[in-house]
Structure 1
Protein backbone atom coordinates (compact mmCIF):
# COMPACT_ATOMS: atom_id res chain seq x y z
CA UNK A 1 0.00 0.00 0.00
CA UNK A 2 1.37 3.42 -0.93
CA UNK A 3 1.68 6.15 1.67
CA UNK A 4 -0.91 8.16 -0.24
CA UNK A 5 -3.45 5.36 0.01
CA UNK A 6 -2.62 4.76 3.66
CA UNK A 7 -3.15 8.42 4.48
CA UNK A 8 -6.45 8.38 2.62
CA UNK A 9 -7.67 5.39 4.61
CA UNK A 10 -6.56 6.92 7.92
CA UNK A 11 -8.31 10.16 7.11
CA UNK A 12 -11.53 8.43 6.07
CA UNK A 13 -11.47 6.41 9.29
CA UNK A 14 -11.40 9.68 11.25
CA UNK A 15 -13.69 11.80 9.06
CA UNK A 16 -16.89 11.25 11.05
CA UNK A 17 -15.16 12.13 14.32
CA UNK A 18 -13.55 15.23 12.84
CA UNK A 19 -16.85 16.38 11.37
CA UNK A 20 -18.54 15.99 14.74
CA UNK A 21 -15.81 18.01 16.48
CA UNK A 22 -15.94 20.77 13.86
CA UNK A 23 -19.74 20.99 13.82
CA UNK A 24 -20.00 21.32 17.59
CA UNK A 25 -17.49 24.14 17.49
CA UNK A 26 -18.88 25.99 14.48
CA UNK A 27 -22.63 25.16 14.48
CA UNK A 28 -22.45 25.11 10.70
CA UNK A 29 -22.23 21.96 8.65
CA UNK A 30 -20.77 23.84 5.67
CA UNK A 31 -18.05 25.46 7.77
CA UNK A 32 -17.39 22.15 9.52
CA UNK A 33 -16.86 20.50 6.13
CA UNK A 34 -14.44 23.28 5.21
CA UNK A 35 -12.49 22.77 8.45
CA UNK A 36 -12.22 19.03 7.91
CA UNK A 37 -11.19 19.56 4.30
CA UNK A 38 -8.46 21.98 5.40
CA UNK A 39 -7.19 19.39 7.87
CA UNK A 40 -6.85 16.91 5.00
CA UNK A 41 -4.88 19.44 2.98
CA UNK A 42 -2.54 20.09 5.89
CA UNK A 43 -2.05 16.37 6.41
CA UNK A 44 -0.97 16.08 2.80
CA UNK A 45 1.66 18.78 3.36
CA UNK A 46 3.01 17.24 6.56
CA UNK A 47 5.80 14.73 7.14
CA UNK A 48 3.66 11.93 8.55
CA UNK A 49 6.71 10.06 9.85
CA UNK A 50 6.88 12.72 12.59
CA UNK A 51 3.24 12.12 13.63
CA UNK A 52 2.87 9.56 16.37
CA UNK A 53 -0.92 9.54 16.50
CA UNK A 54 -2.76 10.43 13.29
CA UNK A 55 -6.17 10.64 14.98
CA UNK A 56 -4.89 12.94 17.72
CA UNK A 57 -2.99 15.07 15.24
CA UNK A 58 -6.06 15.50 13.03
CA UNK A 59 -8.27 16.40 16.00
CA UNK A 60 -5.77 19.03 17.12
CA UNK A 61 -5.48 20.51 13.63
CA UNK A 62 -9.26 20.66 13.17
CA UNK A 63 -9.62 22.33 16.57
CA UNK A 64 -7.07 24.99 15.64
CA UNK A 65 -8.74 25.60 12.31
CA UNK A 66 -12.12 25.95 14.02
CA UNK A 67 -10.65 28.32 16.60
CA UNK A 68 -9.35 30.55 13.80
CA UNK A 69 -12.74 30.41 12.08
CA UNK A 70 -14.56 31.30 15.28
CA UNK A 71 -12.24 34.24 15.75
CA UNK A 72 -12.58 35.59 12.27
CA UNK A 73 -15.83 34.12 10.90
CA UNK A 74 -14.49 34.79 7.40
CA UNK A 75 -16.75 34.12 4.46
CA UNK A 76 -16.29 30.51 3.46
CA UNK A 77 -14.94 29.61 0.06
CA UNK A 78 -17.50 29.51 -2.74
CA UNK A 79 -15.37 27.41 -5.10
CA UNK A 80 -14.47 23.75 -4.54
CA UNK A 81 -10.95 22.91 -3.48
CA UNK A 82 -8.66 21.85 -6.29
CA UNK A 83 -7.29 18.44 -5.35
CA UNK A 84 -5.77 16.86 -8.44
CA UNK A 85 -3.93 14.18 -6.46
CA UNK A 86 -6.24 13.44 -3.53
CA UNK A 87 -9.45 14.45 -5.18
CA UNK A 88 -11.38 11.38 -4.16
CA UNK A 89 -11.12 12.45 -0.53
CA UNK A 90 -12.50 15.92 -1.04
CA UNK A 91 -16.17 16.55 -0.38
CA UNK A 92 -16.44 19.50 -2.71
CA UNK A 93 -20.21 19.80 -2.64
CA UNK A 94 -21.24 23.16 -1.23
CA UNK A 95 -24.97 22.60 -1.61
CA UNK A 96 -26.99 22.64 1.58
CA UNK A 97 -28.97 19.51 2.37
CA UNK A 98 -31.70 20.59 4.83
CA UNK A 99 -32.34 17.03 6.04
CA UNK A 100 -28.63 16.41 6.60
CA UNK A 101 -28.26 19.75 8.39
CA UNK A 102 -31.26 19.05 10.61
CA UNK A 103 -30.05 15.56 11.46
CA UNK A 104 -26.65 16.94 12.45
CA UNK A 105 -28.24 19.64 14.58
CA UNK A 106 -30.50 17.09 16.27
CA UNK A 107 -27.48 14.96 17.16
CA UNK A 108 -26.13 17.86 19.22
CA UNK A 109 -29.29 19.58 20.33
CA UNK A 110 -30.52 22.89 19.00
CA UNK A 111 -30.68 24.46 22.45
CA UNK A 112 -27.06 23.54 23.12
CA UNK A 113 -25.94 24.99 19.80
CA UNK A 114 -27.65 28.26 20.64
CA UNK A 115 -25.85 28.42 23.99
CA UNK A 116 -22.51 27.49 22.43
CA UNK A 117 -22.85 30.48 20.11
CA UNK A 118 -22.74 32.76 23.17
CA UNK A 119 -19.35 31.46 24.34
CA UNK A 120 -16.07 33.15 23.55
CA UNK A 121 -13.96 31.17 21.04
CA UNK A 122 -11.48 29.85 23.62
CA UNK A 123 -14.31 28.87 25.99
CA UNK A 124 -16.12 27.02 23.24
CA UNK A 125 -13.06 25.07 22.11
CA UNK A 126 -12.14 24.12 25.68
CA UNK A 127 -15.69 23.01 26.49
CA UNK A 128 -16.30 21.07 23.29
CA UNK A 129 -12.99 19.22 23.33
CA UNK A 130 -13.09 18.37 27.03
CA UNK A 131 -16.75 17.93 27.89
CA UNK A 132 -17.95 16.49 24.59
CA UNK A 133 -14.89 14.58 23.39
CA UNK A 134 -13.07 13.88 26.66
CA UNK A 135 -9.72 15.36 25.64
CA UNK A 136 -7.46 16.12 28.62
CA UNK A 137 -6.68 19.73 29.39
CA UNK A 138 -2.98 19.10 28.85
CA UNK A 139 -3.78 18.35 25.18
CA UNK A 140 -6.21 21.25 24.75
CA UNK A 141 -3.97 23.91 26.32
CA UNK A 142 -1.46 24.17 23.42
CA UNK A 143 -4.31 24.69 20.96
CA UNK A 144 -5.45 27.76 22.91
CA UNK A 145 -1.98 29.00 23.86
CA UNK A 146 -3.07 28.68 27.47
CA UNK A 147 -1.84 26.73 30.47
CA UNK A 148 -3.77 23.59 31.48
CA UNK A 149 -5.00 25.44 34.57
CA UNK A 150 -6.38 28.32 32.52
CA UNK A 151 -7.89 25.90 30.02
CA UNK A 152 -9.66 24.10 32.86
CA UNK A 153 -11.10 27.42 34.03
CA UNK A 154 -12.32 28.25 30.53
CA UNK A 155 -14.13 24.91 30.28
CA UNK A 156 -15.56 25.35 33.76
CA UNK A 157 -16.90 28.80 32.93
CA UNK A 158 -18.39 27.54 29.68
CA UNK A 159 -19.97 24.61 31.51
CA UNK A 160 -21.69 26.94 33.97
CA UNK A 161 -23.09 28.99 31.11
CA UNK A 162 -24.32 25.88 29.32
CA UNK A 163 -25.97 24.69 32.53
CA UNK A 164 -27.53 28.11 33.15
CA UNK A 165 -25.52 28.66 36.31
CA UNK A 166 -23.59 31.76 35.30
CA UNK A 167 -23.23 34.02 38.32
CA UNK A 168 -23.59 37.79 38.27
CA UNK A 169 -19.86 38.51 38.61
CA UNK A 170 -19.03 36.24 35.68
CA UNK A 171 -21.64 37.76 33.39
CA UNK A 172 -20.95 41.34 34.35
CA UNK A 173 -18.41 42.85 31.96
CA UNK A 174 -18.35 46.05 33.97
CA UNK A 175 -17.26 44.15 37.06
CA UNK A 176 -14.50 42.40 35.11
CA UNK A 177 -13.27 45.75 33.91
CA UNK A 178 -13.18 46.94 37.52
CA UNK A 179 -11.12 43.89 38.50
CA UNK A 180 -8.51 44.32 35.76
CA UNK A 181 -8.34 48.08 36.38
CA UNK A 182 -7.69 47.40 40.06
CA UNK A 183 -5.04 44.81 39.17
CA UNK A 184 -3.31 47.18 36.76
CA UNK A 185 -3.29 50.09 39.21
CA UNK A 186 -2.03 47.90 42.06
CA UNK A 187 0.69 46.45 39.86
CA UNK A 188 1.95 49.85 38.74
CA UNK A 189 1.89 51.23 42.30
CA UNK A 190 3.51 48.14 43.78
CA UNK A 191 0.57 47.67 46.17
CA UNK A 192 0.85 44.03 47.27
CA UNK A 193 -2.28 44.14 49.43
CA UNK A 194 -4.38 45.47 46.55
CA UNK A 195 -2.95 42.84 44.19
CA UNK A 196 -3.80 40.04 46.60
CA UNK A 197 -7.37 41.35 46.86
CA UNK A 198 -8.04 40.59 43.16
CA UNK A 199 -6.02 37.37 42.83
CA UNK A 200 -7.42 33.94 43.55
CA UNK A 201 -5.31 32.25 46.28
CA UNK A 202 -4.50 29.44 43.81
CA UNK A 203 -3.84 31.73 40.83
CA UNK A 204 -1.41 30.37 38.23
CA UNK A 205 0.84 32.51 36.03
CA UNK A 206 2.09 30.69 32.93
CA UNK A 207 4.38 32.22 30.30
CA UNK A 208 4.91 30.56 26.94
CA UNK A 209 8.40 29.83 25.61
CA UNK A 210 8.51 33.08 23.61
CA UNK A 211 7.56 35.13 26.69
CA UNK A 212 10.37 33.53 28.67
CA UNK A 213 12.81 34.36 25.88
CA UNK A 214 11.51 37.93 25.78
CA UNK A 215 12.05 38.27 29.52
CA UNK A 216 14.43 35.62 30.96
CA UNK A 217 13.32 36.41 34.53
CA UNK A 218 9.77 35.25 33.76
CA UNK A 219 8.77 31.76 34.87
CA UNK A 220 5.69 29.80 35.89
CA UNK A 221 4.27 30.84 39.25
CA UNK A 222 1.62 29.37 41.52
CA UNK A 223 -0.20 31.09 44.35
CA UNK A 224 -1.31 34.66 44.95
CA UNK A 225 1.77 35.64 46.98
CA UNK A 226 4.22 34.66 44.23
CA UNK A 227 2.17 36.24 41.44
CA UNK A 228 1.60 39.47 43.39
CA UNK A 229 5.31 39.76 44.18
CA UNK A 230 6.21 39.30 40.51
CA UNK A 231 3.74 41.92 39.27
CA UNK A 232 4.59 44.44 41.99
CA UNK A 233 5.76 47.65 40.32
CA UNK A 234 5.34 46.25 36.82
CA UNK A 235 2.75 46.40 34.02
CA UNK A 236 3.80 49.95 33.18
CA UNK A 237 3.34 49.32 29.44
CA UNK A 238 0.31 47.02 29.75
CA UNK A 239 -3.03 48.22 28.41
CA UNK A 240 -6.46 46.68 29.15
CA UNK A 241 -7.94 45.05 26.07
CA UNK A 242 -10.60 42.71 24.80
CA UNK A 243 -8.68 39.77 23.29
CA UNK A 244 -10.77 37.36 21.25
CA UNK A 245 -13.77 38.58 23.20
CA UNK A 246 -12.12 38.11 26.59
CA UNK A 247 -10.52 40.55 29.01
CA UNK A 248 -6.77 40.85 29.33
CA UNK A 249 -3.78 43.08 28.73
CA UNK A 250 -1.62 43.83 25.72
CA UNK A 251 1.95 45.11 25.81
CA UNK A 252 2.84 47.23 22.78
CA UNK A 253 6.42 48.45 22.43
CA UNK A 254 7.43 50.76 19.60
CA UNK A 255 4.08 50.25 17.92
CA UNK A 256 4.54 46.47 17.89
CA UNK A 257 2.51 43.99 19.93
CA UNK A 258 5.02 42.06 22.03
CA UNK A 259 3.05 40.20 24.71
CA UNK A 260 -0.55 39.56 25.66
CA UNK A 261 -1.70 38.62 29.14
CA UNK A 262 -4.80 36.45 28.93
CA UNK A 263 -6.88 36.49 32.11
CA UNK A 264 -9.15 33.77 33.41
CA UNK A 265 -11.67 34.77 36.07
CA UNK A 266 -13.22 32.69 38.81
CA UNK A 267 -16.00 34.65 40.44
CA UNK A 268 -14.54 38.04 41.34
CA UNK A 269 -10.92 36.94 41.29
CA UNK A 270 -8.27 36.42 38.63
CA UNK A 271 -7.60 32.67 38.63
CA UNK A 272 -5.03 32.42 35.84
CA UNK A 273 -2.75 34.70 33.86
CA UNK A 274 -1.16 33.42 30.67
CA UNK A 275 1.63 35.45 29.07
CA UNK A 276 1.79 34.74 25.33
CA UNK A 277 4.48 36.17 23.06
CA UNK A 278 4.44 33.57 20.29
CA UNK A 279 4.87 35.59 17.06
CA UNK A 280 2.50 33.42 15.01
CA UNK A 281 -0.23 33.79 17.63
CA UNK A 282 0.28 37.55 17.93
CA UNK A 283 0.29 38.07 14.16
CA UNK A 284 -3.21 36.58 13.90
CA UNK A 285 -4.59 38.11 17.08
CA UNK A 286 -7.53 40.50 17.13
CA UNK A 287 -7.84 42.80 20.11
CA UNK A 288 -9.60 45.99 21.11
CA UNK A 289 -8.14 48.44 23.59
CA UNK A 290 -10.50 49.36 26.42
Structure 2
Protein backbone atom coordinates (compact mmCIF):
# COMPACT_ATOMS: atom_id res chain seq x y z
CA UNK A 1 0.00 0.00 0.00
CA UNK A 2 2.77 2.41 0.97
CA UNK A 3 4.72 1.50 -2.17
CA UNK A 4 1.64 2.19 -4.31
CA UNK A 5 1.10 5.56 -2.59
CA UNK A 6 4.69 6.54 -3.17
CA UNK A 7 4.34 5.60 -6.83
CA UNK A 8 1.23 7.77 -7.15
CA UNK A 9 2.95 10.72 -5.48
CA UNK A 10 5.97 10.30 -7.71
CA UNK A 11 3.80 10.21 -10.83
CA UNK A 12 1.86 13.29 -9.70
CA UNK A 13 5.09 15.15 -9.00
CA UNK A 14 6.50 14.29 -12.45
CA UNK A 15 3.34 15.61 -14.09
CA UNK A 16 3.48 18.76 -11.96
CA UNK A 17 7.08 19.42 -12.94
CA UNK A 18 6.24 18.79 -16.58
CA UNK A 19 3.31 21.24 -16.46
CA UNK A 20 5.57 23.87 -14.96
CA UNK A 21 8.22 23.24 -17.61
CA UNK A 22 5.66 23.48 -20.42
CA UNK A 23 4.24 26.68 -18.94
CA UNK A 24 7.71 28.23 -18.75
CA UNK A 25 8.47 27.08 -22.29
CA UNK A 26 5.19 28.52 -23.61
CA UNK A 27 5.87 31.82 -21.89
CA UNK A 28 9.50 31.91 -23.02
CA UNK A 29 10.31 34.04 -26.00
CA UNK A 30 12.74 31.95 -28.02
CA UNK A 31 14.42 33.71 -30.91
CA UNK A 32 14.45 30.52 -32.99
CA UNK A 33 12.55 27.24 -33.12
CA UNK A 34 15.69 25.30 -34.08
CA UNK A 35 19.42 25.74 -33.66
CA UNK A 36 22.37 23.56 -34.66
CA UNK A 37 25.59 23.12 -32.69
CA UNK A 38 28.71 21.68 -34.32
CA UNK A 39 32.45 21.41 -33.76
CA UNK A 40 34.83 21.53 -36.72
CA UNK A 41 38.43 21.43 -37.85
CA UNK A 42 39.65 21.93 -41.42
CA UNK A 43 36.18 21.75 -43.00
CA UNK A 44 36.77 24.33 -45.73
CA UNK A 45 35.69 21.84 -48.42
CA UNK A 46 32.29 21.27 -46.82
CA UNK A 47 31.27 24.08 -44.48
CA UNK A 48 29.25 26.15 -46.95
CA UNK A 49 27.07 23.23 -48.03
CA UNK A 50 26.59 22.08 -44.43
CA UNK A 51 25.50 25.51 -43.20
CA UNK A 52 23.19 26.04 -46.19
CA UNK A 53 21.65 22.62 -45.61
CA UNK A 54 20.63 23.42 -42.05
CA UNK A 55 19.36 26.84 -43.05
CA UNK A 56 17.09 25.05 -45.52
CA UNK A 57 16.01 22.72 -42.71
CA UNK A 58 14.68 25.70 -40.78
CA UNK A 59 17.55 26.37 -38.39
CA UNK A 60 17.39 29.98 -37.28
CA UNK A 61 20.94 30.00 -35.96
CA UNK A 62 23.96 27.75 -36.34
CA UNK A 63 26.55 27.69 -33.57
CA UNK A 64 30.02 26.62 -34.63
CA UNK A 65 33.07 25.75 -32.57
CA UNK A 66 36.35 25.88 -34.42
CA UNK A 67 38.80 23.41 -32.90
CA UNK A 68 42.06 24.69 -34.38
CA UNK A 69 41.55 24.81 -38.14
CA UNK A 70 44.61 25.54 -40.30
CA UNK A 71 42.78 25.95 -43.62
CA UNK A 72 40.08 28.46 -44.72
CA UNK A 73 37.39 27.09 -42.41
CA UNK A 74 37.29 30.09 -40.08
CA UNK A 75 37.27 32.57 -42.96
CA UNK A 76 34.32 30.78 -44.55
CA UNK A 77 32.49 30.58 -41.22
CA UNK A 78 33.09 34.28 -40.67
CA UNK A 79 31.34 35.03 -43.96
CA UNK A 80 28.24 33.27 -42.57
CA UNK A 81 28.61 35.22 -39.32
CA UNK A 82 28.43 38.43 -41.35
CA UNK A 83 25.13 37.21 -42.82
CA UNK A 84 23.69 36.66 -39.34
CA UNK A 85 23.39 32.91 -39.84
CA UNK A 86 26.32 31.63 -37.75
CA UNK A 87 27.72 32.39 -34.33
CA UNK A 88 31.35 31.31 -34.07
CA UNK A 89 33.67 30.58 -31.16
CA UNK A 90 37.22 29.29 -31.33
CA UNK A 91 38.26 26.70 -28.73
CA UNK A 92 41.57 25.24 -29.99
CA UNK A 93 42.24 22.84 -27.10
CA UNK A 94 42.10 19.29 -28.39
CA UNK A 95 40.18 16.25 -27.16
CA UNK A 96 37.56 18.26 -25.25
CA UNK A 97 34.52 17.90 -27.48
CA UNK A 98 31.91 17.52 -24.75
CA UNK A 99 33.41 20.28 -22.64
CA UNK A 100 33.53 22.55 -25.68
CA UNK A 101 29.84 21.85 -26.37
CA UNK A 102 28.88 22.89 -22.86
CA UNK A 103 31.13 25.96 -22.91
CA UNK A 104 29.59 27.12 -26.18
CA UNK A 105 26.06 26.33 -24.96
CA UNK A 106 26.59 28.70 -22.03
CA UNK A 107 28.71 31.36 -23.74
CA UNK A 108 26.34 31.72 -26.71
CA UNK A 109 23.16 31.48 -24.59
CA UNK A 110 21.83 28.71 -26.81
CA UNK A 111 19.24 27.62 -24.25
CA UNK A 112 17.64 31.06 -24.29
CA UNK A 113 17.78 31.49 -28.06
CA UNK A 114 16.57 28.13 -29.38
CA UNK A 115 13.67 25.85 -28.46
CA UNK A 116 15.15 22.77 -30.14
CA UNK A 117 18.79 21.89 -30.77
CA UNK A 118 20.56 19.52 -33.14
CA UNK A 119 24.12 18.57 -32.16
CA UNK A 120 25.80 17.48 -35.40
CA UNK A 121 29.25 17.11 -36.90
CA UNK A 122 29.95 18.59 -40.31
CA UNK A 123 29.66 15.19 -41.97
CA UNK A 124 26.15 14.64 -40.58
CA UNK A 125 23.07 15.82 -42.44
CA UNK A 126 19.65 15.54 -40.78
CA UNK A 127 16.68 15.91 -43.13
CA UNK A 128 13.07 14.86 -43.63
CA UNK A 129 12.46 12.37 -46.45
CA UNK A 130 9.14 14.11 -47.07
CA UNK A 131 11.06 17.21 -48.15
CA UNK A 132 9.63 19.24 -45.27
CA UNK A 133 11.81 21.32 -43.01
CA UNK A 134 12.83 19.80 -39.71
CA UNK A 135 11.08 22.67 -37.93
CA UNK A 136 7.78 21.79 -39.62
CA UNK A 137 8.22 18.07 -38.85
CA UNK A 138 8.77 18.76 -35.13
CA UNK A 139 5.18 19.92 -34.66
CA UNK A 140 3.82 16.42 -33.75
CA UNK A 141 6.51 15.95 -31.09
CA UNK A 142 5.08 18.21 -28.41
CA UNK A 143 5.00 15.31 -25.94
CA UNK A 144 8.72 14.61 -26.37
CA UNK A 145 11.98 16.22 -25.30
CA UNK A 146 14.51 14.06 -27.15
CA UNK A 147 14.36 12.51 -30.62
CA UNK A 148 17.04 10.01 -31.66
CA UNK A 149 17.96 8.88 -35.16
CA UNK A 150 20.51 6.34 -36.36
CA UNK A 151 23.24 7.02 -38.87
CA UNK A 152 22.84 5.95 -42.50
CA UNK A 153 26.51 5.38 -43.31
CA UNK A 154 27.71 6.53 -46.74
CA UNK A 155 30.90 5.66 -48.59
CA UNK A 156 33.14 7.26 -51.19
CA UNK A 157 31.30 6.31 -54.40
CA UNK A 158 34.80 5.56 -55.69
CA UNK A 159 35.59 9.28 -55.93
CA UNK A 160 39.25 10.26 -55.80
CA UNK A 161 38.69 14.03 -55.97
CA UNK A 162 36.25 15.78 -53.68
CA UNK A 163 32.90 16.64 -55.33
CA UNK A 164 31.25 20.05 -55.18
CA UNK A 165 28.39 18.53 -53.16
CA UNK A 166 28.59 15.89 -50.42
CA UNK A 167 24.85 15.29 -50.60
CA UNK A 168 24.83 14.68 -54.34
CA UNK A 169 28.27 13.14 -54.73
CA UNK A 170 27.94 10.29 -52.24
CA UNK A 171 24.96 8.01 -52.77
CA UNK A 172 26.19 4.53 -51.82
CA UNK A 173 25.67 3.43 -48.24
CA UNK A 174 25.65 0.46 -45.90
CA UNK A 175 22.26 -1.30 -46.14
CA UNK A 176 21.61 -1.32 -42.40
CA UNK A 177 21.17 1.52 -39.95
CA UNK A 178 24.19 2.03 -37.72
CA UNK A 179 24.28 0.81 -34.12
CA UNK A 180 21.98 2.58 -31.66
CA UNK A 181 24.88 3.06 -29.24
CA UNK A 182 26.17 5.94 -31.36
CA UNK A 183 22.91 7.49 -32.51
CA UNK A 184 22.47 11.28 -32.58
CA UNK A 185 19.70 13.52 -31.33
CA UNK A 186 17.45 16.54 -31.57
CA UNK A 187 16.45 17.81 -28.15
CA UNK A 188 14.66 20.63 -26.38
CA UNK A 189 17.19 23.02 -24.91
CA UNK A 190 15.12 23.08 -21.73
CA UNK A 191 16.38 19.58 -20.83
CA UNK A 192 20.05 20.60 -21.07
CA UNK A 193 20.92 21.40 -17.47
CA UNK A 194 24.62 20.57 -17.13
CA UNK A 195 27.77 19.52 -18.95
CA UNK A 196 26.84 15.90 -18.29
CA UNK A 197 23.48 16.34 -20.04
CA UNK A 198 24.97 17.46 -23.34
CA UNK A 199 26.58 14.31 -24.69
CA UNK A 200 28.00 13.64 -28.13
CA UNK A 201 25.56 10.82 -28.84
CA UNK A 202 23.16 10.97 -25.90
CA UNK A 203 21.12 13.42 -23.86
CA UNK A 204 21.89 12.15 -20.38
CA UNK A 205 19.12 12.28 -17.80
CA UNK A 206 16.24 12.68 -20.23
CA UNK A 207 12.99 11.04 -19.13
CA UNK A 208 12.31 7.80 -20.98
CA UNK A 209 8.60 8.52 -21.53
CA UNK A 210 9.55 11.77 -23.27
CA UNK A 211 12.23 10.19 -25.47
CA UNK A 212 11.64 8.61 -28.87
CA UNK A 213 13.57 7.19 -31.83
CA UNK A 214 12.27 8.03 -35.28
CA UNK A 215 14.13 6.88 -38.39
CA UNK A 216 11.13 7.33 -40.65
CA UNK A 217 10.22 11.00 -40.31
CA UNK A 218 13.87 11.95 -39.82
CA UNK A 219 16.87 10.63 -41.73
CA UNK A 220 20.46 11.18 -40.64
CA UNK A 221 22.98 10.76 -43.44
CA UNK A 222 26.54 10.35 -42.19
CA UNK A 223 29.49 10.74 -44.56
CA UNK A 224 32.47 9.56 -42.47
CA UNK A 225 35.01 9.02 -45.26
CA UNK A 226 33.86 11.01 -48.32
CA UNK A 227 36.37 11.27 -51.18
CA UNK A 228 39.85 9.80 -51.06
CA UNK A 229 41.18 13.37 -51.31
CA UNK A 230 39.19 14.52 -48.27
CA UNK A 231 39.97 11.42 -46.25
CA UNK A 232 43.72 11.60 -46.82
CA UNK A 233 44.16 15.35 -46.47
CA UNK A 234 41.66 16.01 -43.65
CA UNK A 235 40.41 12.93 -41.83
CA UNK A 236 43.78 11.22 -41.55
CA UNK A 237 45.66 14.32 -40.41
CA UNK A 238 43.48 16.38 -38.07
CA UNK A 239 43.04 13.95 -35.16
CA UNK A 240 39.98 13.57 -32.97
CA UNK A 241 37.99 16.29 -31.25
CA UNK A 242 36.83 13.84 -28.60
CA UNK A 243 39.82 11.91 -27.25
CA UNK A 244 43.48 11.22 -27.92
CA UNK A 245 42.91 7.48 -28.36
CA UNK A 246 40.97 8.22 -31.56
CA UNK A 247 43.66 10.36 -33.18
CA UNK A 248 45.00 7.53 -35.32
CA UNK A 249 41.78 5.62 -36.01
CA UNK A 250 41.20 7.14 -39.46
CA UNK A 251 43.68 5.15 -41.54
CA UNK A 252 43.35 3.59 -45.00
CA UNK A 253 42.17 0.31 -43.49
CA UNK A 254 39.24 2.22 -42.02
CA UNK A 255 38.51 3.84 -45.39
CA UNK A 256 38.55 0.62 -47.42
CA UNK A 257 36.72 -1.40 -44.79
CA UNK A 258 33.93 1.12 -44.47
CA UNK A 259 33.69 1.65 -48.23
CA UNK A 260 33.32 -2.08 -48.87
CA UNK A 261 30.14 -2.15 -46.75
CA UNK A 262 28.47 0.61 -48.78
CA UNK A 263 26.72 -1.52 -51.37
CA UNK A 264 23.26 0.06 -51.38
CA UNK A 265 22.19 3.02 -53.51
CA UNK A 266 20.39 5.76 -51.60
CA UNK A 267 19.71 8.89 -53.65
CA UNK A 268 16.90 10.30 -51.49
CA UNK A 269 18.77 13.36 -50.22
CA UNK A 270 20.56 13.84 -53.54
CA UNK A 271 17.21 13.83 -55.34
CA UNK A 272 15.67 16.31 -52.90
CA UNK A 273 18.59 18.64 -53.49
CA UNK A 274 18.41 18.21 -57.28
CA UNK A 275 14.67 18.96 -57.22
CA UNK A 276 15.19 22.14 -55.21
CA UNK A 277 13.07 20.94 -52.27
CA UNK A 278 16.22 21.12 -50.14
CA UNK A 279 18.81 23.77 -50.93
TM-score class, shorter-chain normalisation, is under 0.3
Larger Rg: 1
TM-score, normalization by structure 1: 0.27
- Larger RCO: Structure 1 or Structure 2 (Cα < 8 Å, ≥ 6 residues apart)? 2
TM-score, normalization by structure 2: 0.28
Structure with bigger helix share is 1
